[in-house]
Structure 1
Amino acid sequence: MSDWRPRLIASDMDGTLLHSDDTVGEATVAELRRWADDGVPLVLATGRPPRWMRRIREVVRTGTAVCCNGAVLLDLGRFEILEEDALPPAVLADVTAGLRAEQPGTWFAVEYGLEFRHEPVYRPRWDLDAPGVAEATLEEIVSAPAAKLLARHEDLPRDEFMRLVERVVGDRATVTNSSSDALAEISASGVTKATGIAKVAARHGVGPEDVVVFGDMPNDIAAFDWVREAGGRAVAMAHAHPDLLAAATDVTGTNDDDGVAAFLASL
């Protein structure tokens, strides 16, 4: 595969494209622009909601972002939501009731388009006073379709909590995790970063065999499997979660060492 070149670049953001201080390294910016000049589009595939994509537009001014782990396609240039695969209220109600019954200390929040609603007891790590962020009762939270349901537990270890969530949710929704916290990210059934990237790639007439995907956490596994099985490249960061490293075709440097830029420059 020494002469292999991607026709589309897809990258996770946190822990991958971004440095630990939430900036993009100069080497990465230069490399992405070099590929863009050659007509190769960049897709940002992230667990982040659309409202967290404003600052990255200073670096990536056009194109499509796959947000909320595949549930939302966002036009970065116009900053408009193009498509959303939402969890229906009935599933939201069933899942939250099941998890609360199993673990009463589970708290919930949801992403709705450009807004965020959380139970009063839920402890957001960011955006405490940001526009679009507000408290709501659980009944209000499950009353409308949501791009992503967040279930957090402050006391259980991450892996134990994730196993619990996966067992309770079953095949009613897709469960993943992208942080070191006991925080489950729940999307509509079948929705992953892979499905979101595939939609964008199809718009460019590109198949998975011509895609390179960069990532660092379990929410990137579906996208890794999608490209690897077709002959594309699935590139894990050096510090990636062990489960993602096991799914990778390649490993590059850390995010703070501009690992994405280093790998692209090697092609």
Structure 2
Amino acid sequence: MSDWRPRLIASDMDGTLLRSDDTVSDETVAELRRWADDGVPLVLATGRPPRWMRRIREVVRTGTAVCCNGAVLLDLERFEVLEEDALPPDVLAAITGGLRAEQPGTWFAVEYGLEFRHEPVYRPRWDVDAPGVAEAPLEEIVAAPAAKLLARHEDMDRDSFVALVQRVAGDLATVTTSSSDALAEISARGVTKATGLSRVAARHGVGPEDVVVFGDMPNDIAAFDWVREGGGRAVAMAHAHPELLAAATDVTTGNDDDGVAAFLASLPSR
């Protein structure tokens, strides 16, 4: 693959494209623009909801972002939701009910595209007083379709809690995590970053063999598998979760060392 070049660049945001201070370095911006000028687009593939994508538009002004782990496709230029694969209310009720029965200390929140609702007991880590964020009882939270269900436990360790959520959800939904805390991210059945990325890539006439994807957490595994099995490059950050490192074709430096830019700069130029 010494002469391999991507026709599409896909990157996770937190812990990958973004530095620890939530910024994109000048070096990374310059490298991404060099590829864009050569006709290679960047697709952001993130667990973040659309409402958390406003600041990144200062860097990436156009294109489609894959949000909520594949559940939402967002037009960055117009800031419009193009597609959404939502969890239906009956599935939301079944999963929250099952988890609450097994672990009463489980707390819930949901992403509705541009809005966020959480139980009064749920402790949001970010955007506590942001527009669109509000408290609501669980029965109200699960009454409408949601792009993503969040389940949090303050006392369990992450891996044990995520395993519990996966067991309770069964084949009703897709469960992953991108947090160091006991926070599970639940999407509609079969929805992953891979399904979102494949739809965006198809819009560009690109298959997985022509994609390079960067990531650092288990919610990137499906995208890594899709690209690796298709003949593309799946690049893990040096600090990535062990499960993601096992799914990677390549490893680059950490996000604070501009690992995305470093790997792209190592690829051959036209």
**Partner SS state of residue 229, structure 1:** helix
Match of 2:135 in 1: 135
Does residue 126 (structure 1) correspond to residue 149 (structure 2)? The answer is: no
Match of 2:234 in 1: 234
Amino acid at match of 1:55: R
The C-alpha deviation readout for 1:151-171, integer Å capped at 9, x for no partner, is 000000111101111111111
Distance 1:248 1:116 in 2: 33
The C-alpha deviation readout for 1:138-187, integer Å capped at 9, x for no partner, is 00000000000000000001111011111111110000000100000000
The TM-score, its normalising length taken from structure 1, stands at 1.00
State the superposition RMSD in angstroms. Answer: 0.3
The offset of 1:132, in angstroms, is: 0.1
1:1-267 matched pairs, under 5 angstroms: 1-267=1-267
Amino acid at match of 1:216: D
Distance 1:33 1:54 in 2: 19
**Partner SS state of residue 33, structure 1:** helix
Amino acid at match of 2:261: A
Distance 1:35 1:171 in 2: 40
Amino acid at match of 2:19: H
Distance 2:199 2:230 in 1: 16
Amino acid at match of 1:72: V
What is the aligned-residue identity percentage?
Answer: 89
- Which structure 2 segments of 5+ residues have no match? none
Distance 1:27 1:229 in 2: 30
The C-alpha deviation readout for 1:123-144, integer Å capped at 9, x for no partner, is 0001110000000000000000
The offset of 1:68, in angstroms, is: 0.2
**Partner SS state of residue 196, structure 1:** helix
The offset of 1:189, in angstroms, is: 0.2
Distance 2:230 2:86 in 1: 28
The C-alpha deviation readout for 1:33-75, integer Å capped at 9, x for no partner, is 0000000010000000000000000000000000000000000
- Which structure 1 segments of 5+ residues have no match? none
The offset of 1:16, in angstroms, is: 0.1
The offset of 1:121, in angstroms, is: 0.1
The TM-score, its normalising length taken from structure 2, stands at 0.99
The offset of 1:113, in angstroms, is: 1.3
Number of equivalent positions = 267
